[in-house]
């Protein structure tokens, strides 16, 4: 595609709409996955992308049997688009702060399957925010921790909830949850009805391992899963053992479909934090949400 002879003219509202479609497509990894996120057809998405390419005079992506892939120009345009859209959100937050009103958006990234945590810090904070500021639009994305941290740093997300990891420069952390995980098997597994379970039997059993983290106990990993739901699917076959958070596995344990194995020794804890970008411009919505996150479960003021 030939490049325009003249520099790009002033960015219009139509350009911003096209850039939002573009960044959503990239974030979803392709046209098909973006259909649900954008609530428009694949044909409409394709037309928007073609319009943006004509507008910019750049070939942004390749799509075909090999899947969706950004060109070098597309990666440059995507990074520039993220900075532009983040800048617009910062501008809106600063103007709303000048008016002293809780208006605008709150974009949150959350690690999967935290909704069953007994301490509902995020849920309670969202409830409080909705009661105080009905005009605020809340957008939640369930994505991996590394994507959440990148999103907070580049401005796509205002706040994220992630497990404790190596601290990234530029991120502030607020401790939220202390999550315990145990080793489980599903009904039908040879260890499920065993009167006693030995360490040797556990170490010899087929196990499912998470792809993004490694528990502190060595297992015979013959399967992997990208998230906790995937681990649960495999445990419920009765063919594997694996680690799950206690709060997440509770529903199956209570129904007699899962059993904890060697709970005194095979367990570990992970801290979950709310992460925000250090030094961000004033944003009343984010500030109030973070204040609500720190409120104790009974709603009383936090201790000094």
Residue range 65-86, pLDDT digits in tens? 667 889 999 999 998 888 888 7
147 and 276 assigned to the same domain: yes
Q: How many distinct structural domains can be found in the chain?
A: 3
Pairing state between β 267-277 and 258-261: unpaired
pLDDT of 302: 41
SS3 labels along 61-102: EECCCCCCEECHHHHHHHHHHHHHHHHHHHHHHHHHHHHCCC
Residues 112, 30: Cα–Cα separation, whole Å: 21
Contact between residue 157 and residue 279 where contact means Cβ atoms under 8 Å apart: no
Residues 192, 162 share a domain: no
Assign residue 255 the CATH number of its domain. 3.40.190.290
Specify whether 72 is located in the same domain as 186. Answer: no
List phi, psi (to 5°) of 243.
-90, 140
What CATH code is carried by the domain that includes residue 34?
1.10.10.10
Same structural domain, 235 and 152: no
Cα 79 to Cα 98: distance, rounded to the nearest angstrom: 29
Q: Is residue 4 part of a domain?
A: no
In a domain, 258, yes or no: yes
CA 43 to chain centre: 27
Instruction: Report the 10 Å Cβ neighbour count for 31.
Output: 19
Query: Tell me, what's the pLDDT at 156?
Result: 85
Is residue 132 located within the same domain as residue 203? no
pTM (two decimals): 0.63
At 5 the pLDDT is: 47
**What local confidence, expressed as pLDDT, does residue 165 receive?**
78
Whether 8 maps to a domain, the answer reads: no
Q: Which residues pair with 61 in a beta bridge?
A: 70
For residue 160, what are its two tokens?
Answer: 């994220």
State the residue range of the domain holding 204.
Answer: 178-270
Q: What is the pLDDT of residue 119?
A: 73
Is residue 193, in this structure, part of any structural domain at all? yes
> 175 near 273, Cβ under 8 Å?
yes
CATH of the domain at 150: 3.40.190.10
Hey, is 244 helix, strand or coil?
Answer: strand
**In-domain check, residue 301:** no
Which residue, 30, 56, 84, sits at the end of a domain? 84
Three-state SS for 247? helix
Residues 260 and 281 in one domain: no
Ranges in the chain, pLDDT < 50:
1-2, 4-5, 298-304
Domain boundary among 84, 118, 142: 84
19 and 68 housed in the same domain: yes
**Assigned domain for 298 exists:** no
pLDDT at residue 151 in the model: 87
Contact 243, 182 (CB under 8 A): yes
Q: What is the DSSP pairing of strand 137-142 with strand 105-110?
A: parallel
Question: Nearest to residue 242, comparing CAs of 202, 194, 198, 187?
Answer: 202
Which residue has 């502030």 as its token pair? Answer: 172
Q: Please check whether residue 299 lies inside any domain of the structure.
A: no
Q: What's the helix, strand, coil split of the chain in %, to 5?
A: 40, 20, 40
**CA 122, CA 275: separation in Å to the nearest integer?**
13
């Amino acid at each position: 595609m030939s490049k325009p002879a003249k520099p790009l003219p002033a960015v219009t509202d139509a350009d911003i709409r096209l850039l939002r479609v573009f960044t959503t497509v990239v974030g979803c990894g392709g046209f098909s996955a973006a259909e649900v996120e954008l609530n428009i057809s694949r044909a409409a998405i394709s037309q928007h992308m073609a319009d943006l390419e004509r507008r910019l005079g750049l070939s942004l992506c390749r799509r075909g049997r090999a899947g969706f892939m950004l060109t070098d120009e597309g990666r440059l345009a995507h990074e520039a688009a993220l900075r532009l859209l983040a800048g617009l959100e910062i501008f809106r937050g600063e103007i709303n702060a000048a008016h002293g009103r809780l208006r605008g958006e709150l974009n949150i990234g959350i690690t999967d399957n935290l909704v069953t945590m007994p301490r509902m810090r995020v849920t309670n904070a969202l409830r409080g925010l909705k009661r105080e500021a009905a005009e605020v639009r809340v957008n939640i994305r369930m994505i991996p921790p590394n994507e959440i941290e990148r999103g907070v740093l580049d401005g796509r997300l205002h706040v994220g909830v992630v497990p404790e990891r190596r601290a990234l420069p530029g991120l502030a952390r607020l401790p939220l949850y202390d999550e315990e995980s145990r080793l489980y098997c599903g009904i039908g597994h040879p260890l499920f009805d065993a009167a006693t379970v030995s360490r040797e039997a556990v170490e010899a059993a087929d196990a499912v391992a998470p792809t993004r983290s490694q528990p502190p106990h060595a297992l015979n990993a013959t399967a992997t899963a990208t998230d906790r739901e995937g681990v649960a699917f495999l445990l419920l076959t009765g063919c594997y053992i694996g680690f799950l958070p206690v709060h997440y596995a509770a529903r199956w344990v209570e129904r007699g479909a899962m059993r904890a194995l060697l709970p005194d020794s095979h367990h570990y804890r992970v801290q979950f934090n709310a992460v925000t970008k250090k030094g961000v411009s004033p944003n009343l919505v984010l500030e109030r949400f973070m204040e609500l996150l720190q409120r104790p479960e009974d709603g009383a003021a936090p201790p000094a």
